[in-house]
Amino acid sequence: MTEATALADSAAPSAEVLPAGSPPPVILMRGIRREYRMGGRGHRQAKGEDAVVVRALRGVDFSASAGEFVSVMGPSGSGKSTLMNILGCLDKPSAGAYSLDGIETSQSDSDTFAYIRNRKIGFVFQSFNLLARTTALENVELPLFYRRPGKPEKPYSARERRDRAKAALREVGLEKRMDHYPSQLSGGQQQRVAIARAMVGDPAFILADEPTGNLDSEMSLEIMGLFQQLNGQGKTIIMVTHEPEFAAYTKRIITLRDGMLVSDIAGEGKNAQEELARWKKDNALLNGKTPGGGAEAGEPGTDEPGTDEPGTGEPKEAA
Ligand code: ADP
Ligand code: MG
């Protein structure tokens, strides 16, 4: 197929810096520019006034290989959303080349572009974006419906869709919540469903936009722990966050400023599970309990032992 165009010349410089035998990058961006034209046609303009051009991205080079866990940081207005939209094939750059899993996206027609988006990218949003009147299982099955005949893969049968969705929910620790509706799940559990939905089609990478933005500290740590677990299994994750605290759990941090990539450093590699355990311990102490469940101060015997079952235990009260 023409869409499986081999990496063009733009791939060469990066291939040189990669260790010999490395697989080609999942993401290869070269000279990405995105300009928004304000004014002009349809806008009122003073005589002789030029349309204003906003240069949201001004020549970004970025590549990521399979198995990476990258956070994208930068102040408001630096171009993170613009870069995310291009990475996610929701938008095309004004200039530059972007090859995703070996497919050159900038030259693809709109059908192929939509196919790449549905097939190659798993999206996770701040607001979960689950369908309310649809169970967890049905939400996760949904992306598998978009596989259309005539494309490289066969569409899934109803049975395959169900089996794959169940397996994805099991991976995120929600096997006991498959028939729950979003309103019957905590925020953290809803985000787990969204992550299962992002993974179910076996995308080239997961693109997460402020995935902990609507979650409290404990749930945020659980989600970062889940991402670390999935990344440990080889999943490639790109996450936009403006919180350095969460970027510390990723392996690599890139920073944008004024539409340019100004830094690309290794992450701290903090362990979210450990951090969560510490957080729970501190919290238990604050509440007058010892972490082991035995009462220390306060009213002995009135509290049940702390249960630590992120996502798999008893139902939490719906928010
Ligand atoms: P961030 O997500 O880091 O806050 P954005 O990518 O949203 O940054 O925006 C980068 C720049 O591009 C900003 O100056 C913003 O005002 C501008 N911009 C973003 N989207 C549009 C648009 N649709 N039309 C015009 N300007 C835009
Ligand atoms: Mg933004």
Residue spans per domain, the chain: 63-92+112-286
Q: Looking at 103-112, 173-182, 247-256, which range is the least confident one?
A: 103-112
70: tokens are 């990258």
Task: Summarize pLDDT for 233-247 with one digit per residue, the tens.
Answer: 999 999 999 999 999
Pick among 2.40.50.100, 3.40.50.300, 2.70.70.10, 3.30.750.210: CATH of 63-92+112-286: 3.40.50.300
Q: How much is the pLDDT for 285?
A: 85
Residue with more model confidence, 285 or 122: 122
Average pLDDT for residues 267-277, to the nearest whole number?
Answer: 94
Mean pLDDT of 257-262: 98
Q: Tell whether the torsion through CA atoms of 43, 45, 47 and 48 is positive or negative.
A: negative
Q: Which residue's alpha carbon is at the smallest distance from atom 7 of ligand 1?
A: 81
The ligand 1 atom at the shortest distance from the C-alpha of residue 82 is 6
Closest ligand 1 atom to 259 CA: 10
Task: Determine the pLDDT at residue 107.
Answer: 85
**Confidence at residue 22, expressed as pLDDT on a 0 to 100 scale:** 67
What's the predicted TM-score (pTM) here?
0.82
- Of all ligands present, the nearest one to the C-alpha of 85 is 1
Q: What percent of the chain has pLDDT over 70?
A: 77
**Residues within a 6 A CB radius of ligand 1:** 36, 38, 54, 56, 74, 76-82
Which string of DSSP letters, residue by residue, matches 246-275? HHTTSSEEEEEETTEEEEEEE-----HHHH
> For residue 198, how far is its CA from the centre of ligand 2 (angstroms)?
20
User: Is it the case that residue 47 has pLDDT exceeding 50?
Assistant: yes
Whether 152 shows a pLDDT value over 70: the answer reads no
* Candidate of 34, 36, 87 to mutate for ligand 1, largest count of ligand atoms within 8 Å of Cβ: 36
Highest mean pLDDT among 112-121, 137-146, 220-229, 278-287: 220-229
Residue 14 predicted with pLDDT over 80:
no
Q: Which ligand is nearest to the CA of 126?
A: 2
- What integer pLDDT is reported at residue 155 of this predicted model? 82
pLDDT by residue (tens digit) across 76-102? Answer: 999 999 999 999 999 999 999 999 999
Ligand at shortest distance from the CA of 56: 1
Q: How many CB atoms lie within 10 A of CB 74?
A: 21
Would the pLDDT of 315 be above 60?
no
Share of the chain above pLDDT 90, in %: 66
CA–CA dist 91, 103 (Å, integer): 16
The region, left, alpha or beta by phi > 0 then psi within -120 to 50, assigned to residue 9 is: alpha
* Structure confidence at residue 314 as a pLDDT band (50, 70, 90): very low
The predicted-structure confidence for 157-166, as pLDDT tens digits, reads as follows: 899 999 999 9
Q: Which residue's CA is the nearest one to ligand 1's atom 14? A: 77
Q: Note whether 188 and 225 are within 8 A (CB).
A: no
For atom 12 of ligand 1, the residue with the nearest CA is 56
Rounded to whole angstroms, the Cα distance separating 254 from 204 reads 19
Determine the distance separating the centroid of ligand 1 and the alpha carbon of 215, expressed in angstroms.
25
